[in-house]
Amino acid sequence: MARVYFGTDGIRGRVGCDPMTVDFALRLASAAARVLAHDGGMVLIGKDTRLSGYMFESALEAGFVASGVDVLLAGPLPTPAIAYMTRHLACNFGVVISASHNPYEDNGIKFFDRQGLKLSEEVEERIEKVLALGPLTRTSRELGRARRLDTERLAYQQFCSSLLPAGMNLSELKLVIDCANGAAYKVAPRILADLEAEIVPIGCSPNGRNINDGCGSTRPELLQLTVPGVRAQAGIALDGDGDRVVMVDHLGRLVDGDQLLYVIAAEAQVAGTLRGPVVGTVMSNFGLELALRRLGVEFRRAPVGDRHVLAQLIEYGGVLGGETSGHILSLDRTTTGDGLVTALQVLRIIKQTGRPLAELAAGMEKLPQVLLNVQVAQRFDPDAVPAISAAVRRIEAHLAGEGRIVLRASGTEPVIRVMVEGRDESEVRGCADELAQVVRSAAPA
């Protein structure tokens, strides 16, 4: 059975359109309870700051309680915090209501198992299979109970703080933290402040509609202006649900996920703690591969998506991998991508070495890479369209082995991602623009 609703990162869509409706959320809760908590049990629900999160939280709560499952309501917390606390509180599973880096008009629902891991495709298929059974309502004696978390939320903050060596703090570091007006708007500044950093918060005033709006990891321009403007040592930009991070050095220059992966891998290689290969994706900058090769570190590429990065890390015994977007996996510390955990690792390296972020990232030279997101009417396989395939072959011949082309459909929105990489920036941009225009013209209506 092919999955209909679950995509690369849970279920996601425009609020009010199938499947992101109250009716579907209620049915989904009942189906998930049947598959993940056969005889009652407990579920943890977290969310980001979207206005629609309250609506979906209530629908899921009703579906779980009616199915006999106890519900813990965490409120706004980063996705990785819910993964951690699902395991820490011994829940049967965890649920996050978030559309991550998407605009506020979208929302999504994703699950973690009792180990804090994303569900396998097989389990997602089982949930979809029982969706047709409709919501279950048990008798009064069998209903679950719901309550909001209080001090239990501090466990995640304590976990993050424990990632620094005993006796180390972030004093003498001035940091700008941009939480994208999203799920980390409370917990991230608190963690950094508890570690004695001087912080300048931006993107920490959510109103239900401004998540990812001109801020966060997808729009770091304000952070790039603020860091040198307040003479901070570094800036941190999370996305709406806190599982991605990019950073900014003291000069206001962006340090993306590939560069952060290099900084962490290089330090771990020197310390002798790096195990297995580092895993990136087909979109990872070729400069990362070259820089790791110079360090004697094996590099592998997975298809786009943290699910695929995780699969290769497990298969080859690695602990470190990630994507250019800043979704980085550190399996020796967490079970899922965690923007705060990644940022704290980099800040620890800055403190231990006394070297600024700009110097640490300088060991990786990024090759010019242009990524264009082409909006289309519906998702489709670009490789199956002859006109697009012909354009790819023509541009590859023009690059003459001195560049790469990656063309793929987004797994979460109707977008075709066009990536061209090479040694000459103007040539790369021209090729990307040309290919993007072909995609627009040849896309199915």
| Dihedral sign, Cα of residue 421, residue 254, residue 118, residue 7 | negative
Asked if 315 contacts 336 with a C-beta cutoff of 8 angstroms, the reply is: no
Give the model's confidence band at 1: pLDDT under 50 very low, under 70 low, under 90 confident, else very high: low
DSSP bridge partners of 245: 238
The DSSP 8-state label assigned to residue 120 in this structure reads P
Closest CA to 434 of 409, 405, 414: 405
The answer to the question of residue 268 being in a domain is: yes
Domain edge (last residue) among 327, 361, 395: 361
pLDDT, average across residues 181-190:
97
Give the model's confidence band at 323: pLDDT under 50 very low, under 70 low, under 90 confident, else very high: very high
For 34-38, which contacts have Cβ atoms below 8 Å and span 24 or more sequence positions? 34/67, 34/130, 34/133, 34/136, 35/123, 35/126, 35/127, 35/130, 36/92, 36/93, 36/111, 36/113, 36/123, 36/127, 37/67, 37/69, 37/92, 37/93
Domain edge (last residue) among 361, 396, 413: 361
The answer to the question of residue 259 being in a domain is: yes
Calpha distance 239→306 (Å, rounded): 15
Q: Does residue 241 sit in the same domain as residue 316? A: no
Q: Does residue 285 sit in the same domain as residue 316? A: yes
Q: What pLDDT is recorded for position 400?
A: 83
The answer to the question of residue 160 being in a domain is: no
Closest CA to 430 of 361, 315, 422: 422
The answer to the question of residue 3 being in a domain is: no
Calpha distance 256→266 (Å, rounded): 15
Q: How far is CA 27 from the centre of its chain?
A: 26
Contacts of 301 (CB under 8 A, 6+ apart): 279, 280, 281, 282, 284
Q: Output phi, psi for 289, to 5 deg.
A: -60, -45
Q: What pLDDT is recorded for position 350?
A: 98
Q: Does residue 266 sit in the same domain as residue 379? A: no
Q: What pLDDT is recorded for position 3?
A: 82
- Residue 148: which H helix or E strand, with range? strand 146-148
Give the model's confidence band at 283: pLDDT under 50 very low, under 70 low, under 90 confident, else very high: confident
The answer to the question of residue 5 being in a domain is: no
The answer to the question of residue 264 being in a domain is: yes
Annotation says 441 is catalytic: no
Q: Does residue 61 sit in the same domain as residue 97? A: yes
Give the model's confidence band at 114: pLDDT under 50 very low, under 70 low, under 90 confident, else very high: very high
CATH assignment of the domain containing 98: 3.40.120.10
Domain edge (last residue) among 227, 253, 279: 253
The DSSP 8-state label assigned to residue 19 in this structure reads T
Q: Does residue 16 sit in the same domain as residue 85? A: yes
Closest CA to 29 of 122, 131, 142: 131
Q: Does residue 48 sit in the same domain as residue 170? A: no
Other Cβ atoms within 10 Å of 261 Cβ, number: 30
pLDDT, average across residues 265-275:
96
pLDDT at 38 over 90: no
Q: Poorest-confidence range of 177-186, 227-236, 244-253, 406-415?
A: 406-415
Calpha distance 118→9 (Å, rounded): 9
- CA dihedral of 432, 326, 122, 409, whole degrees rounded to 10: -10
Q: Does residue 274 sit in the same domain as residue 234? A: no
| Number of structural domains the chain divides into | 4
pLDDT, average across residues 193-219:
97
Asked if 386 contacts 438 with a C-beta cutoff of 8 angstroms, the reply is: no
Q: Look at the block and give the residue holding tokens 């400069």.
A: 287
The mean pLDDT value of the chain amounts to 95
The answer to the question of residue 157 being in a domain is: no
The DSSP 8-state label assigned to residue 383 in this structure reads G
pLDDT, average across residues 437-443:
93
The answer to the question of residue 158 being in a domain is: no
Q: Does residue 381 sit in the same domain as residue 314? A: no
pLDDT at 286 over 90: no
Q: Does residue 22 sit in the same domain as residue 89? A: yes
Q: 89 lies in which domain range? A: 11-151
Active-site annotation holder among 52, 100, 217, 330: 100
Contacts of 99 (CB under 8 A, 6+ apart): 12, 48, 50, 106, 107, 108, 240, 241, 412
pLDDT, average across residues 90-98:
98
Calpha distance 437→251 (Å, rounded): 35
pLDDT, average across residues 134-155:
93
Q: Does residue 146 sit in the same domain as residue 47? A: yes
Q: Does residue 16 sit in the same domain as residue 92? A: yes
- CA dihedral of 250, 254, 258, 263, whole degrees rounded to 10: 0
Q: Does residue 22 sit in the same domain as residue 127? A: yes
